[in-house]
Each structure stands twice: as C-alpha cells, then as structure tokens.
Amino acid sequence: MLYSRYFIPTLKETPSDAEVISHQLMLRAGLIRKLSAGIYNYLPLGLRSIRKFENIVREEMNKADAIEMLMPSVQPAELWQESGRWQFYGKELLRFKDRKENEFCMGPTHEEVITDMVRREIKSYRQMPINFYQIQTKFRDEIRPRFGLMRGREFIMKDAYSFDVDSSAADLSYDKMYQAYMRIFERCGLNFRAVEADTGSIGGSSSHEFMVLADSGEDAIVSCDACRYAANVEKAESRPVPAQAEPELSPLQKTTTPGMKTIADVAGFLGLDSNQTVKTLVYCSEKDEPVMVLLRGDHELNEIKLKNNMGWDEVRMASEEQIMQLTGSPAGFLGPMGLKQPLTVIADITVQGMSNVVIGANERDMHFQNANLGRDFTVERFVDLRNVVAGDPCPRCEQGRLEMWRGIEVGHVFKLGTKYSTALNATYLDADGREQVIFMGCYGIGIGRTIAAAIEQNHDENGIIFPLPIAPFHCSVVALNTKDKGVMAEAEEIYFKLEKLGMDVLFDDRDERPGIKFKDNDLIGIPLRIVVGSKGLAEGKVEVKKRATGEVLLLPIEEAIETVRQLVEKALTFA
RNA sequence: CGGGGAGUAGCGCAGUCUGGGAGCGCACCUGCCUUGGGAGCAGGGGGUCGCAAGUUCGAAUCUUGUCUCCCCGACCA
C-alpha cells in the first residue's frame, strides 16, 4: 500500500472528548472517527486491524467446529415477546416500528433469532452437537457510551451459540469454546485472564469472562497466586474467618456516639479497629421488599451476591425515609436489635466468627458495644455477601492468596441451559423417539473492544504498539528523501519484494520531512519499520527498527528483507 | 435517568464577567527554501459563534427555551 494514495488522517493534537488512552490513540492514529455518541466510522486503517482480528477469531472458531452464518440486525418484536425479554431488556433495546406499525428492535444479541432458526431446523439428536456463529454489528442503546470502541452503542461482535442434547454434552461444547477463546487471545499476544463470572441478564448456570489486563479496565478481577483460581470480583468467593475458640463475652453496653455516622467515625471515636465493628445496611428489591444486611465494618457489600442470594431482579439501597420507617433510626446508627417492625436480617459469613462487636442501636447517636450473636441479636442466615480484597485467602486452595487486577472484558462464555430453548420451545427427538429440550451455550467476543484493549495494553508516549497479528500492516518501508532517485528506487524495490513474500507493507512514499514520517509511523503502531536513506544506502544498508523495543538493526538490503520476513513469520506462528 | 461540565474554522483553545472589530496555534492552499524525529520565510482560503425566541440602536457576550457532546453512578462484548 502506498501511503500517499491511502487514507490515514492522523492528528497531532488529542481531541478533547477522548478520555482513555486507547480512544485518544485510535482517533489520533486515524483508526476511527465518531459519527454520534457511541457510534463510529471505522477508517481504513482501523478496519484493517479489525479484519485481522476477525480472521483470527474465524480460524479458531472454525477449528473448534463452529459454523459461520449471518443473522439480521433488525429483529421482530414477537420473538422477544416470546422469550420474555421484550419486557426485561429495558431501554437498552432500541425499538421502532415499520410503516405497517409492526414493532422491531435492533439486535443487541441473537439468542432469540438463532433459537428460532434451530427450533425450525434441528429436529433430531443426530443433528447435534452443533454450534453457529456470526461476526456482526450489534446495537445496544447504552445509557452512557464511553471510551470510544470500548463501550459503544453500535459495535462489532462475534457471537456463537451451541446446541446439545443434554447438560453434559453442553459442557463439552462449552469447554471447546473456552479453549478456542484461550487460543484466540494468546494468538493476539495479549496479556489476559479467563475468570469465573456472574451470568448477569443473559442468564444461565455458569460462565467465564476473558479479561485483558489493563489499569484502565472497568472490571476488578482476582487471581490466586498459588492455584488456577481466578474470578471477577462480582463473583469471587470469600472465605469465612474462623471463629475464636471460646470467646469471652463482655456485657452489652450502650454508648453515645454523637454524629458518628460512618464506620471509620465510630471506630475512631471508640478507639477500636473498624474490623471490630459490624456494618448494617438496608437494601430493597425491585418490589420494595426490604432486607437488613450485616457485614464486618471494614468489608464491602457485593450487591450481586446479595441479589443472587435473595433471588431478586434488582437491589438498591433503601431510601432515608424507608430506613426511618423500618428501623426508627436514621442511617448511620442501624443495627439488628430493637427493630420497629419484623425485618429479614442476613449476615456475611465473616460476621459469624465475630464477638464483642460494635453495632448501631437503632437510635440516633447511639451504638452498642460488646454485642454478641445469639445473646443480643440473631440473624436469619449467614451467606457470602462481601467483596473479596487483595490478600484474602484463596477459596479453592489452602496456601494461596488473592491478587487483584483491573481488566477489560473482551470475551464471555455462558452455559445457558434450557432458558431460551424452553421459552421458545426448541426441542428434538432422542434415540428413543422422546421429545427433549435442547441445551444451549452462548459465546461472545467484542471485536472492536479487543482492538481497543490491545492498544490500552500496548502503547507508549509516541503512540500505538500493535501486536503484530492484529496490526493493520506488518511493516512499513520509509523512503527518507523521495527526491533522491536512488533512495526511491531502492525503497520501492524492497516494498515489492516484501509484498511478494506475503507481507502487509505500508510504503511511506510521501514527500514529507523525515520527522513527520517517523512520528506518523510510530503513532499508527506498525510493528516493523525499514528506513531507506541516502547515507545508509551508500554502504548498501538499510535500517530495521522494532516498534515495541526500539531496537535498531543496520543491515544489508537482502538481509533486512529476510529479517523482517522471519520476524513476521515468528509473530504469526502460534505454538 | 440523577449529579457535574462544555458547545466559537478540520483539531486544540482565547474572547463571554464589563454588549459595539470574530481572533490565536496547528492543519489546509500558493511560492521559496528544507530532508534522520511533527522545520523556516512570505502570501492566502475557511466560521449562520449548536439551534430558536427575547432584551437592545447594536448580542459570541445578557434572558428564556431547546438540542448535542463530555465526565461521575446503574448496564455490558
């Protein structure tokens, strides 16, 4: 590709509305341009990178026996009404009517469409296992799109759906996808983790997320430093702290704590550590059913664990008025004793091992000291309700400790079970001629988001450092002085030879000063660069520079070409 | 949707408080010059100041409304 005839509109300055580095660099390097909030043009260079990644995904999906197809992005409301998600999905589902007043939506995902196709076409156990996938544009009317391609409203996604005769067959399909995902992200040269995850609104029994590690990541994840356990903090299990053998119970004592509304205030006021206090929170369901939650003072509630444990669709903190009405006390002095009206009280498992704690008295400016479970208050059940923190013991092995990371979710695999097949009546006949419900799995990869995540993880002050497998070009040839016929002829020759070897080459033939060319080449992140200048040429040599390390090799022309070929081949070969 | 901020040339911004010339840097066009890290000189083109209504002799500037975008929360690939 000739740079002078191509289209790479780079920017010297950072657009003011880009916050994270990948978004800034994608704009500056001329990969994308915003059309509207969360909606982007993919410019030629950005599209090349996306296509590279799509092809890796395609190869690995095909290898894992998934079959490519393409579903429509506009979907009829009836299917969503049938699955029940027309009601549930909320405003994220972009709905509209056609000229005949029939309702439609832009597909945010395709469980309904694929299940509808499968129920019509898959009738026998002989036709399974089968797994369909597509790479397609989705639309979710995000409440707050941000960070460029990282969280757009319109985005490219690879989604796959597996169909199996029973749960254990579905597990095999799931494992196959899990392994394919591992290969996909390894091939891209990304530093990532596969972690256990909550299933969220998609539903189903279990799932893993694939997280690219980056400080700017929106998710917190933990991994064990001794075993293979890794999980999203939303899901990560905590271990109870073992109870003291025979705690000596001190007498209950009511203490004034004027204006001490936070755990830190109370603990500081009483000269105690916050882990000797119990924090009391009141939460409500979507139907305003309340629950009181007890946690060790220094712990943080995991709302997803609470939601799952209560079997609610939604949790939110109770309002000040609700709290007053339920407990008779303002927030900050809540506790399980002396409640105005009966209230379900549940506690985190760690609370079970605590004794002589400080806890709110349900009275303004009053706390109890030396409160004890059983003697002074009771709870309905103990469950894992808190967020794990770095240094917590691993829930799976004895010696491990949890480490904490930030991650960008680029892939997610789910075991769906029969949620959609039951709703849409997707069944088959087994070997005995009996009708059975199909078991499903679904598997997503954010294509644009992965490119953004790769940039988030691979950049420096000069711009993007693309991992070679997803770089728009493998290498560039930079002719320093285009007016020098010898330089141009040699540069062109090198460009032709590299192309003939199957390399993707960007030939910077622009009549620009060297500084501009170097800056642009660095910014757009081409992994390898061959510079042809008159000085080097006088000795028959050109320069090969690696973008990632800055390493420079001054080599005879043929050797330079061979070096680039080998480096590209090595980067593309996946063990 | 709740809270905060911003809309002035392609990009980054000043001007708004205190009403009266629409400006600066980069980018772009022409010429000269220059060619190993975003050069220099000279000349030039480009903006309904987000939109609408109002106040005023006069509005980028004051008032009201409205739209859009960005940041913090719930959602997710």
Nearest alpha-carbon partner for A22 in A411, A527, A467, A450? A450
pLDDT confidence of residue A91: 81
Interatomic CA–C1' length for residue A16 and nucleotide B24, angstroms: 18
In a 10 Å sphere around its CB, with 0-12 CB exposed, 13-18 middle and 19+ buried, how is residue A57 labelled? buried
Interatomic CA–C1' length for residue A535 and nucleotide B44, angstroms: 37
Residue ranges, CATH 3.90.960.10, chain A:
253-383
> Do residues A141 and A153 touch, judged by C-beta distance below 8 A?
yes
Report the C-alpha gap between A39 and A20 in whole angstroms: 17
Say yes or no: domain A253-383 is CATH 3.30.70.260: no
Nucleotide nearest to A28 (CA to C1'): B11
Nucleotide nearest to A144 (CA to C1'): B75
Report the C-alpha gap between A408 and A431 in whole angstroms: 44
Residue ranges, CATH 3.30.930.10, chain A:
15-211+417-456
Show Cβ contacts of residue A199 under 8 Å, excluding neighbours closer than 6 positions: A205, A206, A207, A414
Interatomic CA–C1' length for residue A37 and nucleotide B69, angstroms: 8
Nucleotide nearest to A15 (CA to C1'): B11
Interatomic CA–C1' length for residue A17 and nucleotide B65, angstroms: 26
pLDDT confidence of residue A202: 64
DSSP state of A73: S
Chain B bases closer than 7 angstroms to a protein Cβ: 1-2, 11-13, 25-27, 34-39, 68-77
Nucleotide nearest to A142 (CA to C1'): B75
Which regions of A197-338 does DSSP assign to beta strands (E)?
206-213, 219-224, 230-232, 253-256, 278-284, 290-296, 316-317
Interatomic CA–C1' length for residue A513 and nucleotide B35, angstroms: 5
Interatomic CA–C1' length for residue A13 and nucleotide B17, angstroms: 30
Interatomic CA–C1' length for residue A512 and nucleotide B32, angstroms: 16
Regions of chain A short of the pLDDT cut 50: none
Q: pLDDT tens across A446-499, in order? A: 999 999 999 999 999 999 999 999 999 999 999 999 999 999 999 999 999 999
Q: pLDDT tens across A65-102, in order? A: 999 999 999 999 999 999 988 887 878 889 989 999 99
For nucleotide B77, the protein residue with its alpha carbon nearest to C1' is: A446
pLDDT confidence of residue A422: 95
Residue ranges, CATH 3.40.50.800, chain A:
473-572
Q: Which of 2.60.120.10, 1.10.3720.10, 3.40.1160.10, 3.30.930.10 is the CATH number of A15-211+417-456?
A: 3.30.930.10
pLDDT confidence of residue A22: 94
Percent over 70 (pLDDT), chain A = 98
CATH topology of domain A473-572: Rossmann fold (3.40.50)
DSSP state of A470: G
Interatomic CA–C1' length for residue A449 and nucleotide B77, angstroms: 7
Interatomic CA–C1' length for residue A16 and nucleotide B28, angstroms: 21
Determine phi and psi for A210, rounding to 5 degrees: -105, 120
Alpha carbon A437 to its chain centroid, in Å, reads 31
pTM for the model stands at 0.93
Place of tokens 């040429």: A537
pLDDT confidence of residue A575: 62
For nucleotide B74, the protein residue with its alpha carbon nearest to C1' is: A143
Report the C-alpha gap between A6 and A23 in whole angstroms: 22
Nucleotide nearest to A531 (CA to C1'): B36
> Do residues A368 and A338 touch, judged by C-beta distance below 8 A?
no
pLDDT confidence of residue A81: 93
* Prior bond of A129 cis (ω within 30°): yes
Report the C-alpha gap between A184 and A467 in whole angstroms: 13
Determine phi and psi for A568, rounding to 5 degrees: -65, -45
Nucleotide nearest to A516 (CA to C1'): B38
Phi-psi sector, A540: left (phi>0), alpha (psi -120 to 50), beta: left
Nucleotide nearest to A314 (CA to C1'): B74
- Return the bridge partners of A232, or none: A221
pLDDT confidence of residue A564: 98
* CA distances from residue A220 to A234, A282, A332, A575 in whole angstroms, order as listed: 8, 25, 28, 30
> Do residues A401 and A226 touch, judged by C-beta distance below 8 A?
yes
